[in-house]
Amino acid sequence: MASWDCKRDVVPFIAMAIAECCTVSLHTLYKAANSNGLHYFVFMTYSYGFGTLLLFPISTVFSRRGLTSFNFKLPLLCRFVLLWIMGFLARVFGYKGLEYSSPALSSAISTLAPAFTFILAIIFRMEDVDLKRSSTRAKIIGTIVSVSGALLAVLYEGPTLLSSQSGSIITQSPLTTQTNWVIAGLLLVTEQLLNSGTYILLIQILRIYPAELIVSFVYCLGVTIITIPVSLVAESDLSAWILRPGITLAVIVYSAFFGQVFILTIRICCLPSKGPLYISIFKPISIIVAAAASVIFLGDALHIGSVVGAIILLLGFYAVLWAKAKEQRSTENLRASVDEETPLLQGSREVKYLE
């Protein structure tokens, strides 16, 4: 195995691992705040609003290009508008699905992202499909296995491995106690499909305008603009918009800083060099962290269906990753052979010229 370069490999690996842990902790905090009365539209508005305010000075000061160089040409504008809509819908489906289920199920379903990304990459001709190659067959089989595992986790609870605790930090509502896994699963699967679409769009946007911090700011700003009017219509009770000290304020501040600034920026910065599948590599970490957090902090029961489904998901998931790694090695070997042949060709041309 080739040695790791610190800046190219180690730093992104550590950053993505931390980002995935932050995602799980954010879902756990949101679940606790939601069970105590926080409406998800109110949460989204404050989270994206504060995140936009934080990203503005960061993108202005630390970006190589600066906001003044940003130019909304039609191809870029169309992609951004579609990105804003998909990002907004992904958050709505995700937080609503989390409201109906638990962070553990949300993390299990999130491992479908690589499979969805692979399918979309084929549609948009970002992936080659050759059934004669073992890597292509592994990607297809892995995708099918991943979907099967997700369906098992959604449709089958099974016996309880760890029973729910009465001393959790939140008060369970009847809907949460009777967890509607089917509705929650469909919402969370839709969220991951939309997330995969945003990865494809972000790569296209970064090819046109390679400024990660500015793209993060514009994305967050656009979702905020969409969220505000929709949220005001969906939640017309003004008392719900009053922020009071406690779990509600804590999760909003945490989401703004870690969710919209840290996690979003890390993922966007890793996309151009590492690709969307690299981001999905860290999803299995979230399953372990989310299951532990749900049982410890939320008092959720752990069912065998979620465990078996997650294991099947991981098997299919890593089959896809193995295929991508094999393709990457083949590409690197091909480039190396071409680089070795190029000086020989140049030398032969010089000899012919002298003759």
Q: For residue range 142-177, what is the model confidence (pLDDT) as tens digits?
A: 878 877 877 787 677 788 877 665 544 444 444 444
278/24: higher pLDDT? 24
> CA–CA separation, 78 vs 325, rounded Å?
33
Say whether pLDDT at 82 is over 80: yes
Residue of higher predicted confidence among 90 and 158: 90
Give residue 343's pLDDT band: very low, low, confident or very high (50, 70, 90).
low
Question: How far does Cα 219 stand from its chain's mean position?
Answer: 14
Contact in structure between 158 and 303 (CB atoms under 8 Å): yes
Greater confidence (169 vs 306) lies with: 306
Residue 251 pLDDT > 90: yes
Range list of H helices, the chain: 11-35, 40-62, 74-100, 103-110, 113-123, 134-155, 174-177, 181-208, 212-234, 247-254, 264-274, 276-280, 283-293, 304-354
305 vs 284: CA distance, rounded Å: 16
pLDDT at 288 exceeding the cut of 80: no
For the segment 64-89, the average pLDDT, to the nearest whole number, is 83
- Helical (H) or strand (E) element with 162: strand 160-162
DSSP per position, 19-76 = HHHHHHHHHHHHHHHHHTT--HHHHHHHHHHHHHHHHHHHHHHH-SS-GGG----HHH
Q: What average pLDDT does this structure show over 276-286? A: 71
- pLDDT, mean of residues 18-45: 88
Higher pLDDT: 106 or 175? It is 106
Lowest mean pLDDT among 65-74, 119-128, 147-156, 321-330: 65-74
Residue-wise pLDDT tens digits, 191-234? 999 998 998 899 999 988 888 899 999 999 999 999 999 999 98
